[in-house]
Structure 1
Amino acid sequence: MLIPTVGPIVGHTTSHQTRLFLRGGWQKDTQAFAAVRCRRAGEEHWNNATFTPLSEANDGAAVIDLQGLVADTEYEYQAGWFSSTLGVETLRESPLQWPEPLYRFRTQSSAVTTPRAYIVGSCRYLQMTAGVPWAPQLGDRIFASINTLARNTNPPISALLMTGDQVYIDDLNFIAPDREYEDILAKYRTAFSQPHIAALMSGTPTYMILDDHEIEDNWPANKSRGDEHLYENATRAYELYQASHGPAGTGEGLGQPLDRYWYQFSHGDIEWFVTDSRTRRDLASSEPRMLDLEQEQALCEWLIQSPARVKFVVTSVMFYPDRKSLPDDAWKAFPEQRLRLLETIRTHGIKNVVFVSGDVHGSLTSRLTHSEAPDFDVHTIVSSPLCNSRLLPYAKASTFILDQPLVQTAAGDYRHELMSGVISQDNFAHVIVDTEQIHVRFHDRDGTLLQSTSISLN
């Protein structure tokens, strides 16, 4: 059996189930299979191995769901792939030589109020020229630091949230943009098989959502004639390499088109709603929409009805504050829909709502209040970039509109203030939720603490 060519990646993980992604390969005139086996850490005997066939149509990739696990338990597992003329039932009875790497993951705790910790990041630039990555260690370096933190922190990391631009399909958009499916797949294979990110994702539940660079800069505002071909190829690759191992994926039914990219997941009394703030935009109507009607209604219903103590809303582009530059690709360009979401939170008295995003190549935390509603406050955590390009600037405090209300209405003004400085270098966020506060700690690519702030919970 051979080691995976990409992965394994630990995806959506609950107290009793985890979803694993891996890529193998295939050989002409034989059937290829992916295989995974797991056991509780420290035990001698393995659970029965799970096999799934691989195909060229899915780029030799597979998703395997491990069921019937025990909550808050460390498991170790092995994963690989091989070619065989035997059927699955015969393989179950056949001895296999498993690859040496031994991976570990932990199932989620079933306790409701236990403290949880997360890693949040976005915008990982990895340039490829003629199919060859340029200095890939630069884009991978920060994941070594995240790995070190994850191994030595308590509470354990419940999830890695990657909130957009995990790959840059358009890294050379002005010279030779990638448009063909095979070229896009090559970027995913390279980006996710670098040693440090591979090590991190093999043991940490990883949740992803796309932003514009998974397709094209400022998509769909920059969409041009003939870009339907690009969009089809880019989203097909996104579904295979990012969405497949998350809650929006279809598990072992890999390769089936997804109805939607947005999804929810929960950890005790902490819940996440991860929006698709890129592919469902409507720019043509008199009232532009960031989120389509179905997604907006689902988000509002979740905000109102969910009993979660803490509600994180992921939107790959910034919810607030607004940037000074025009035109704007973020929520500034969708004021009516943003106001409806804020009014939903205010009028229903919803507490402890935090918007999480990336995109701007700068990190910060900020607080939003209302002039006539003293009990209203909404926070935002922005974490970006994991690795910047030398061609792209970092955001600074002067990038944002901070000297005037975010929104002025007849019912009062929404006013915001920075709760931290604006970090203008490669970084990631370590977010810890306990019973009284959310602690946000930003670290540089070497793992050094840059700054920390706390958000009080109501």
Structure 2
Amino acid sequence: MTASLLLGPLLRHAGPTTATVWVETDSPCTVRVRVDGALTATTDTFTVHGHHYAVCEITGLPEGAALPYEVFLGEDRVWPEPDSPFPPSVVRTTAPDAPTRLLYGSCRRPTGDTPEGVVRYGPDMLRATARRLAREAVDGNLVLLLIGDQVYADELEEPMRSFLASVREPDGPGGAPADEVVHYDEYAELYRQAWSDPPVRWLLSTVPTLMIFDDHDIRDDWNTSAEWRRAMDGRPWWHRRVTSGLGAYWVYQHLGNLSSPARAKDPLWARLRDAGGDGADAVDEFARRAHAEPSSYRWSHRYDVGSVRVLMADTRCSRALGEDALHEGSRSILGAEGHDWLDENLSGGPDHVVVASTVPVMLPTAVHHLEAWNEAVCAGAWGRWPRPYAERLRQAMDLEHWGAFQYSLRRLGDAVRGAARGERGPAPATVLFLSGDVHFSYAAPVRHSDVAEGGTRVTQLVSSPLCNQLPAGTRRVVRLTSSRSAHVVGRVLTWLARVPGLALSWTLDGKTYAGNTIGEVAFEGREAEALWYHASEGGIDALPGVYRRVRV
């Protein structure tokens, strides 16, 4: 029987002479990628829960190249698709001395830019970016960072709800919600629906892409607090859900983040590569342990491109959720091992260091103060009786960004200070935090008490959402959080809760923007410029335009 291509190809980790292509097929087969009509890479699929995947590593490529490629399953060519309106997909390698552009964004609902979808969620910026890049000549290094909520496992669109209704028993598995995914097969369909739209499929086939999860990839407010986690652990379907979610994330997102040497060292990859048959038990065992023992696996990963070091930081799965935030390190957004990893890699040498944190490090200051106050009260700063009320407020208002992990923010500030002062090697020109999650976009220049004028420039850049715009009422609340009066109220609350001050300080540069966006940072030498694109007119043929530029 002839195999078919179910999903992909996705162009993932790319180096100066290598490129990784990921695919999903409908049956076991041999996958061959042929580049520029000559160079080939061949591998057999591996199987997880009855689904079949392959990771092809092409080696021996020239630096800084963009070469067309084809995908074969057995002897059948399955990519490019015939009559595609898009240019041929290419493998892109990096060049150490070339300018670098990073595209980034988060929070995407797959609507296909239908009229109903555009009205509800706004234009899809991944689709719009595909249309833009199909018309542009791309020079230098280009990488796409998808930094959270690549899929919404807990807030499903109609096609996914229909799929669940067709495959589940009427009462659902173990009392699970009828409109949330639980099993691996359901996650596989969720990814297929998210990445099968033709413009998005072409974009992911031709631009090297790195990914990291946020909460909706698993469930809203994932690992907000110890109380949240205890409540979820008490639900009979939750352990199957988190096992399926983390296992599917490793297969669909994380595996492609890894370079060939990193993949060879990955213990789960070694088991799948050598096991033969279906690797479901190995993936489930791995995922259960990753949930129960967050320190057992490092999801964060580093990528060096041109003069830029990109640090994709796990701020979700590896959280330490001790309830005594007044005890040093009890609560941590990265966990102890995650902080050690960031300390090691946030160092001098590259011209630019980029930390991709799905949740913003620097929020509007009013929200930051509210989160810091809430963390302190939850930990007992005002005594025992307010703690349960503060916990309810934390979960109701999603108070779980870096501001709610003050130990982590102080430790990050120390790392930035060391890099900026040249204590970890030659000081970089910039340290940039790229984030999403909050469904509005902004720039926030950061000041540090120990960094001299004209030294390392530190900036928070947020671009969110790709396709999930805020309702009008929520936009008004966002604007209120940026007001001077809200800042003063928040500052008073932190003072009353005796929250220590920070060496870092920041202000928003201009207004927030609540529409759908995709961000870009362009690096050349030691200079960097941030851009935000939107598609103001929406619609199926909308091309994005730059609505803001900021030198950073």
- TM-score normalised to the size of structure 1? 0.83
Distance 1:401 1:331, change over 3 A: farther
Match among 304, 309, 316 for residue 278 of structure 1: 316
Query: Helix, strand or coil: the match of 1:186?
Result: helix
Q: What's the CA shift string for 1:72-122, capped at 9, x where partnerless?
A: 11222111435xxxxxxxxxxxxx2323515212211132xx211111110
**Following TM superposition, by how much is the alpha carbon of 1:146 offset from its aligned partner in structure 2, in angstroms?**
0.9
**Following TM superposition, by how much is the alpha carbon of 1:444 offset from its aligned partner in structure 2, in angstroms?**
0.9
CA contact (8 A) 1:321 1:401 kept: no
Distance 1:373 1:105, change over 3 A: closer
- CA distance in 1 between partners of 2:320 and 2:211 (Å): 22
Q: Which moved more, 1:274-283 or 1:118-127?
A: 118-127
- CA distance in 2 between partners of 1:52 and 1:299 (Å): 35
Match among 272, 283, 300 for residue 343 of structure 2: 300
Amino acid at match of 2:525: T
Query: Helix, strand or coil: the match of 2:320?
Result: coil
Q: Which moved more, 1:202-211 or 1:277-286?
A: 277-286
Query: Helix, strand or coil: the match of 2:432?
Result: strand
Amino acid at match of 2:462: V
- CA distance in 1 between partners of 2:189 and 2:154 (Å): 13
Amino acid at match of 1:200: L
CA contact (8 A) 1:125 1:139 kept: no
Amino acid at match of 1:379: T
Gaps of 5+ in 2: 81-87, 157-175, 273-278, 288-296, 325-329, 371-392, 422-426, 536-541
Q: How does 1:22-101 map to 2 (within 5 A)?
A: 22-26=23-27, 32-40=28-36, 45-55=37-47, 57=49, 59-81=51-73, 96-99=75-78, 101=80
- TM-score normalised to the size of structure 2? 0.70
CA contact (8 A) 1:441 1:452 kept: yes
Distance 1:168 1:389, change over 3 A: farther
Are residues 1:228 and 2:239 paired? yes
> Residue 154 of structure 2 aligns with which residue?
170
CA contact (8 A) 2:357 2:433 kept: yes
**Following TM superposition, by how much is the alpha carbon of 1:149 offset from its aligned partner in structure 2, in angstroms?**
3.2
The CA RMSD measured in Å over matched residues stands at 3.1
Gaps of 5+ in 1: 27-31, 83-95, 129-133
Are residues 1:203 and 2:281 paired? no
> Residue 90 of structure 1 aligns with which residue?
none
Distance 1:229 1:49, change over 3 A: closer
**Following TM superposition, by how much is the alpha carbon of 1:411 offset from its aligned partner in structure 2, in angstroms?**
9.0
CA contact (8 A) 2:11 2:22 kept: yes
Distance 1:268 1:184, change over 3 A: same
- CA distance in 1 between partners of 2:53 and 2:444 (Å): 40
- CA distance in 2 between partners of 1:8 and 1:432 (Å): 26
Distance 1:342 1:38, change over 3 A: same
Q: What's the CA shift string for 1:289-347, capped at 9, x where partnerless?
A: 1011111011112123x411100001110100246365212001101111111022224
**Count of paired positions:** 425
Distance 1:184 1:401, change over 3 A: farther
Are residues 1:382 and 2:462 paired? yes
Q: What's the CA shift string for 1:385-443, capped at 9, x where partnerless?
A: 00016779457343347646999999975321222431110111121111242111111
Are residues 1:160 and 2:141 paired? no
- CA distance in 1 between partners of 2:548 and 2:501 (Å): 36
Distance 1:420 1:18, change over 3 A: farther
CA contact (8 A) 2:308 2:352 kept: yes
Q: Which moved more, 1:290-299 or 1:342-351?
A: 342-351
- CA distance in 1 between partners of 2:200 and 2:360 (Å): 25
Query: Helix, strand or coil: the match of 2:109?
Result: coil
Give the helix-richer structure, 1 or 2: 2
Q: What's the CA shift string for 1:232-283, capped at 9, x where partnerless?
A: 1111111111111112773775566483211001012210111100001112
- CA distance in 1 between partners of 2:522 and 2:354 (Å): 12
- CA distance in 2 between partners of 1:61 and 1:401 (Å): 50
- CA distance in 2 between partners of 1:81 and 1:110 (Å): 33
- CA distance in 2 between partners of 1:387 and 1:141 (Å): 5
> Residue 147 of structure 1 aligns with which residue?
130
Match among 490, 496, 508 for residue 418 of structure 1: 508
- CA distance in 2 between partners of 1:411 and 1:332 (Å): 12
Q: Which moved more, 1:139-148 or 1:256-265?
A: 139-148
CA contact (8 A) 1:39 1:75 kept: yes
**Following TM superposition, by how much is the alpha carbon of 1:371 offset from its aligned partner in structure 2, in angstroms?**
4.6
- CA distance in 2 between partners of 1:140 and 1:2 (Å): 34
- CA distance in 1 between partners of 2:250 and 2:221 (Å): 20
- CA distance in 2 between partners of 1:235 and 1:411 (Å): 36
> Residue 290 of structure 1 aligns with which residue?
333
Q: Which moved more, 1:325-334 or 1:137-146?
A: 137-146
CA contact (8 A) 1:25 1:54 kept: no
CA contact (8 A) 2:441 2:514 kept: yes
- CA distance in 2 between partners of 1:106 and 1:288 (Å): 40
Amino acid at match of 1:297: D
CA contact (8 A) 2:103 2:519 kept: yes
Q: What's the CA shift string for 1:7-29, capped at 9, x where partnerless?
A: 00000000111111101112xxx
- CA distance in 2 between partners of 1:24 and 1:175 (Å): 28
> Residue 126 of structure 1 aligns with which residue?
110
Q: Which moved more, 1:442-451 or 1:264-273?
A: 442-451
Amino acid at match of 2:106: S
Amino acid at match of 1:123: C
Amino acid at match of 1:243: H
> Residue 257 of structure 2 aligns with which residue?
246
Q: What's the CA shift string for 1:158-193, capped at 9, x where partnerless?
A: 210000001000105986322222222211111011
CA contact (8 A) 2:147 2:436 kept: yes
Q: What's the CA shift string for 1:18-62, capped at 9, x where partnerless?
A: 111101112xxxxx214122233xxxx422451313435362122
